[in-house]
Structure 1
Amino acid sequence: MDAPRPRFLALGERISRIAVWIGGLMIVLTAGLITAEVLLRKIANISTGGADELSGYALAVGSSWSMGFALLRRAHVRVDALYGQFSATPRAWLDCLAILAMTGFALVLTWFCAGVLQESITLGARSTTTLSIPLWLPQGLWITGFLIFSALGLILSFHAVLALLAGKAERVRHLVGSRTAEEELSEDGGQPPANGGERC
């Protein structure tokens, strides 16, 4: 049974869960808008205008808002062909290296996105379309997802390194380790394989 999450991680999980639902809803609504656009063009030869622009914003925002939730669920893709061949302690070191690298990437990404947002605000930039949307609006929502992603990465890195230094390899695995086949099956309501093997 998993140990309870630290308080800040539990709060982060609640925030990221709300964010991923909102991001998903944006994408679903955009799919509906595109469907309406295609039907109107086909049947009435008219266009709502801006469906492609709004869908691009929704995809960018929805993607960034889902990253933190995926990080907490250990759902980001990892190349772990050799990972399963190591014992618990080397795995814990690799897990910590992976979360530190991911967090570093998130921070760099957030930093450069913040620069883009600041430039748009300074210039009063608007989209060069009929909608003429102030770009700070979609960019502000976009960077919010990266801020959540970075914050969760920092919190996870902190707790994973503490667990590693305390010699709690299993705790590291539950926080940031690559998910096993049994864990993935249990989330899907399936039965684990009889041999108890891990994903490789």
Structure 2
Amino acid sequence: MTPLQLRLLTVSRTLVRIAVWASGLMIFAVALLIGAEVLLRKFAGISTGGADELSGYALAISSSWAFGFALLRRAHVRVDAFHTWMGTRTRAYLDCLGMLCLATYGTVLAYFCASVLLDTIELRATSNTTLGVPLWIPQTLWLAGLVLFAAVGMLLFGLSLVMLVRREFDKVQTLVGSRTVNDEIADETEPSAAQPGEVR
């Protein structure tokens, strides 16, 4: 890989790692909020109100923020029953096509999410609850995760396409292919050997 390509992967890796840590902290905070809500209802007979609404926002936002990380880790569920029986070259072409489809899906998803956000801003919409949360806030955070997901997908597709042109089929597998048993073993026994999205 060229220095520019490695730099782009490094930046992407850093961004998705920050996003996934933020997602984890968000879920942890919501768990604390729900725990406090349960205890207050049980022992004080009062409710903080809005815990269910905030947890819904947190789930949507944290999920979208984790998509890019899962993509770089090649952690998305894949049906590869026949894929493993194919040759290296065929698998590389299919992996590249699969990444194109996933990146396109992410881009379309981000586009429609942005459309919803613009409508929300124009209407100054708020949630129909006691909290009255301005909906542009959670929707903006949700959109940020989807944009990151789409950007990472497009980057991985572009890099894998370059590798196909150069006939570097093994590197395509390492970058966007299904994780193998050896990959899983290497992660458990040599966690520092490779970073997510890194081509060795």
- Same fold by TM-score greater than 0.5: yes
Letter in 1 for 2:106: A
Letter in 1 for 2:10: A
Which has the larger displacement, 38-47 or 108-117?
38-47
Tell me the equivalent position of 1:129: 129
Tell me the equivalent position of 1:57: 57
- Runs of 4+ aligned residues of structure 1 deviating over 3 Å after TM superposition are 2-5
Letter in 2 for 1:46: I
Tell me the equivalent position of 2:178: 178
Deviation at 1:142, TM superposition (A): 0.4
Tell me the equivalent position of 1:10: 10
Tell me the equivalent position of 2:197: none
Tell me the equivalent position of 1:90: 90
CA distance in 1, matches of 2:116, 2:109: 11
Tell me the equivalent position of 2:196: none
Tell me the equivalent position of 1:194: none
CA distance in 2, matches of 1:69, 1:123: 33
Instruction: Give unpaired runs (5+ residues) of structure 2.
Output: 191-200
Letter in 2 for 1:81: A
Q: TM-score, normalised by structure 2?
A: 0.91
Tell me the equivalent position of 1:28: 28
Matched, 1:110 2:110: yes
CA distance in 1, matches of 2:78, 2:37: 38
Q: TM-score, normalised by structure 1?
A: 0.91
Q: Determine what percentage of the aligned residue pairs are the same residue.
A: 51
Deviation at 1:35, TM superposition (A): 1.0
CA distance in 2, matches of 1:136, 1:11: 27
Residues paired across the two proteins, number = 189
Letter in 2 for 1:63: S
Deviation at 1:3, TM superposition (A): 9.8
CA distance in 2, matches of 1:129, 1:120: 16
Within 5 Å, give how 1:187-198 maps onto structure 2. 187-189=187-189
CA distance in 1, matches of 2:173, 2:179: 8
Tell me the equivalent position of 1:145: 145
Instruction: Give unpaired runs (5+ residues) of structure 1.
Output: 191-200
CA distance in 2, matches of 1:52, 1:30: 9
Deviation at 1:188, TM superposition (A): 2.7
SS in 2 for 1:6: helix
Letter in 1 for 2:149: F
> 1:55-104 CA distances to partner (integer Å, 9 max, x unpaired)?
00100000000000110111111101111101100000110011001001
Tell me the equivalent position of 2:166: 166
